[in-house]
Each structure stands twice: as C-alpha cells, then as structure tokens.
Amino acid sequence: MNGVHNIVIPAFEIILRGYPYMKAIINGKIILEDKIIKDKVLVFDNEIEGIESCVSDSFEIIDAEDNYVSPGFIDMHIHGIKGNGFTLEYRETIHKTGESLPEFGVTGFLPTLVSEPRNDMLEILKLIKGEVKKATGASILGVHLEGPFISSLYRGAHDEKNLYYPDTGDILCHKDIIKMITYAPELDENNQFLKTIKGNSDIIMAMGHTNATFEEAQKAIYEGASHCTHIFNAMRHFDHREPGIIGAALLQPVSVDIVADMIHVNKELFQLLLNNKGKESIALITDAIFAAGLEEGVYHYQGRDFYVKDGTIRLGDGKLAGSILTLNRAADNFYKHTSLSVAETVGLISKNPARILGIDDKKGSLQKGLDADIVIFNDSFEIQRTIIEGNTVFCRQRA
C-alpha cells in the first residue's frame, strides 16, 4: 500500500455501518489464522469489522510500519508480574497485574492461584471476581486454580501445608469465575471429584503437579480431563516401562501447555512436543510470578525468600518457583527452536488458548465479529502496540 489509504466506501454505507467511529491498521503484515496477509487494511471498532483493500479518510488510522498485526495474546497460567500477584498480601493491587500485561502483548489472561488455605482462596476468588468488569488492562477471562488438589511429591513451589485431597466443597459455588483447575488424578478416588465438576460446570480439568501413572491419567482423560498443565514439569517422569502422565498426554487427544523459557524445558523438546501433539493442541504459558519484569535480587513474598538470577526465580533450596517469562518471549523462543512460522507460532498464544478455554467465538483471531484484541509486534516479538476491544492500552514510545 505504501502508506496510501483511499476512499472507496460510499458515504451512505459509511453512515449506515458506523464507519466514522472505525479504526484501521495500515502497512501491516496481518496474521489471519496460519497465513500472513499484506497490502490490506484491518478495520475495527470494539470488534473486528474485516480486512479491506482500502478505507475511508474518516477512519482513525494506525500505521503498523511493516510490523506484524496479530490477535491479542492469551496467558492461561500467570501468577503475577512486576511486583504484584494474586494473593491476599496484594489484595489492594490485584488490578495492577492486568495493567502490566499489555506491554507484553497479553490482552486476556487467567489469574492463577497457588495452593492457599481454603478461606484465603475463597476470598481471593471474590476479589478477582470483583475486578472482572473493572479491568483497565488485559481482560480477566476467569481464574485458574493451580491446586490445592495436587501431589505433595510434585508440589513444586506450593506450600505443602496448603495441599489437600480433591473436594468440591465451595468450588461449584464459584463456577462462574473458575475457568480451569489443575489437579492430580491419582488423588481423586474413582474420579469422583472430576465427574462432579464436569457434571455440574464448564470448568476445564487439567492434569498437573501429579504422580499419576499412565493408567490413572488415561482413566481421568476418559472421564473428562482435557488438558495437561506445563507438560514435562512437576509430574511423574516418562519411563519406558511406566510412561506416566506424560505418555498419556502425548498419546491422547488432550491439549497441553508448556513453559517455553528454555529453563523449565530443554529447547530441543519444543520440536519433539510439536511432532507428537501438532500445532493445534499446544498453548504457550508463562507460569510467571510476581518477580517477572523486576531486576535480579532477593525478594520476600508470602513469608519466603525468592532469588531472581540468570533468567530464573528459585527458592532458597534452588528449586524453580515459577518463571519470570513473558508471553512474547515465550513465543520468540518457540519460534526460534521449532519449524513453525511466525503466524503458526502466534496461534499457540491466541487461537489455541482461546479454543481450550471455550472462548474462540469471541477471542483468539482476527475474524470478523470477534473482539478487537490486537497486537502489533516486530520481527523479535517486541510489542509495539496493544489494543483491547478497540482501544489502545499500550504503545511503545520511540527512542
């Protein structure tokens, strides 16, 4: 287009369709599903209007300057960022995590709760629920309970005293805000917890932090477990005589997510996972905690010291405690170490998580009628602009 945008829409149609309030992105490499479209214009208001050849001068024009234009990124697993998190300790600043995420291209996310005392967990759920409609940054798409129904053997950084056996208890009372639960199938006798949750809600049941055998995982999948949380991490190891949950997740038609920081998982496993699961069944997550985006150092959080150094965050015993990864960097890492194109990689942080969460009728692509959650990024996945429901919420300042 060379920066030219011509008037081609008749005046009566402009008025009829509300075009004076429309916006258009020009000079961008538009990612539509797995392909890239050039020399076209993305038109939107609060929803995607479509891809056009040219537009009216009455539109608000955004010049992408030959950068990529993609659907907004969705992080299904994040505990916090830039000194904030989803605990009672940070109850007054819960909203700040969502406000920080657009800088990294995230337009929607699941606030993810670690294992907490039950009353604390319920109070945090209520606090987050109160933030959903008030969110001024990335949209809260529901809550991910990563625990407390997990294995003490593979608890990772979860406090063992806060773990307990699967129990629906007050869970179903909050099914309107809980979107996903990570649990250990081997703790669920006769899969009763799983059956009750699936029979009474749309909550996604994810297997993780688990010592489940192959058979136990298979039975859970048969009863409705449909996802595997941060595959390869915090779970029974794969063995040629007992392939465990990893074997079941690779073999069965469940979706998986992975922490692609090249620390939690060796980068060579990215392609191995892709070869086994295919690009449609993988989502990238960050598993980031409060220290993501902060300088190296020692931080005190929830009564424990956390050490940030060399791109990792660890407890005093050296155990990994989540990550300090951002979703745009996860995509860049996966792109560099697999056979996927840029457009295909973007699917792992947009349409795939949207489909896993059952919201792909509203988010996850640049199809007409979906929410105008849009990201403009460069060849290094550095975010230039983030748009949420048609409004710019982050724009990188020129040096």
- Which residue ranges make up the annotated binding site for substrate? 157, 233-234, 241, 264, 320-322
Q: Count Cβ atoms within 10 A of the Cβ of residue 138 and give its class: 0-12 exposed, 13-18 middle, 19 or more buried.
A: buried
Closest CA to 197 of 153, 149, 139: 149
Closest CA to 169 of 193, 147, 144: 193
With beta carbons less than 8 A apart as the criterion, state whether 264 and 208 touch: no
Q: Which of 45, 257, 287, 332 is catalytic?
A: 287
Q: List Cβ neighbours of 379 (8 Å cut-off, separation of 6 or more).
A: 68
Dihedral Cα 239, 240, 243, 249, nearest 10 deg: 110
Q: Which residues are annotated as a binding site?
A: 146, 157, 209, 230, 233-234, 241, 264, 320-322
Q: Which two tokens stand for residue 366?
A: 């640049």
Q: How many angstroms separate the CA atoms of 1 and 280, rounded?
A: 32
Provide the 8-state DSSP code for 165. -
Q: How many angstroms separate the CA atoms of 313 and 336, rounded?
A: 23
Catalytic residue list contains 373: no
Q: Which two tokens stand for residue 110?
A: 């699941």
Specify the amino acid at residue 79.
H
Give the residue carrying structure tokens 């605990």.
87
With beta carbons less than 8 A apart as the criterion, state whether 205 and 183 touch: yes
The residues assigned a catalytic role are 287
